[in-house]
Amino acid sequence: MPPTDRYAVELDFARAIASEAAEIARSRCDRVRPQEKENLSYVTDLDHDLERLIRDRLASRFPDDVLTGEEYENAGGSGPRRWSIDPIDGTGNLVHGLPVWAVSIGLIDDGVPAVGVIALPPLGELYWATLGGGSWRDGQPIRCSPDRDDFHDQDNVCVGTNALREIDPRTVVGRLRDLGSCCAELAWVSCGRLVAVCHLGERAHDLAAGAVIASEAGCRFGTLDGRELSPAELIASTPIRVPTFTAPPRRLKALMARTKRLP
């Protein structure tokens, strides 16, 4: 992180909160109490408790900022900045004992994703980025996969469940994955574990932190209908209504050109 990073204070505070939340999540993940929401997705007591904790910490430190998240209504101040919180992204995985879930805290400054922190408690990993400050994992800089104009059959390409129901998987080259946590997927495309990801239906809290981390790691965003998006445009288009890819620039163009909708 550059010493003159304009978001250094916000980043340090968000990392501290995410680390605190991750410790709590690790200590409680084996005894959560799930309930079904109206959309039949799961929410647990841990989701609620962590979001309240994160909101309380942010409200105390940045009282002028708007607070948004998955489980509660907007709160906080009325300034141009808003924090977007996903206390547990991948709650279904958590409930079923699959160790792929995340805590996500993102700051959107006047519409532009500016700070992103993603903790992966099952792995003990912490990812972060600031606008113009690069992307990092546990203090080491990260970059996306080397860029090229095509895909290898063994490249890991992650396509979320909703997107898999719209795109024709036969038109996507590589080993298709669906990991069940948008935030984990964005963290892993940022460090090269995944070559590309595709999402549909995600909301701002799913993408706010990951948009900064992925873009600072060298990824770009584009839709199945041919539109390339800046990080701000990505957040403005939430909930995502068209299958949207995150990948290194040339890989992104290849995906956008080759991938087709289901007939």
Q: What is the DSSP letter of 240?
A: P
What are the residues whose beta carbons fall under 8 Å from the beta carbon of 59, sequence distance 6 or more? Answer: 67, 75, 76
In the annotated binding site for Mg(2+), the residues are 70, 86, 88-89, 206
In the annotated binding site, the residues are 70, 86, 88-89, 206
Burial 139-170 (b: 16+ CB within 10 A, else e): eeebbbbebeeebeeebbbbbbeebbeebeee
Distance from C-alpha of 205 to C-alpha of 68, rounded to nearest angstrom: 8
Structure tokens at 99: 């160790």
SS3 state at 225: coil
Q: Is the dihedral of CA 160, 165, 166, 168 positive or negative?
A: positive
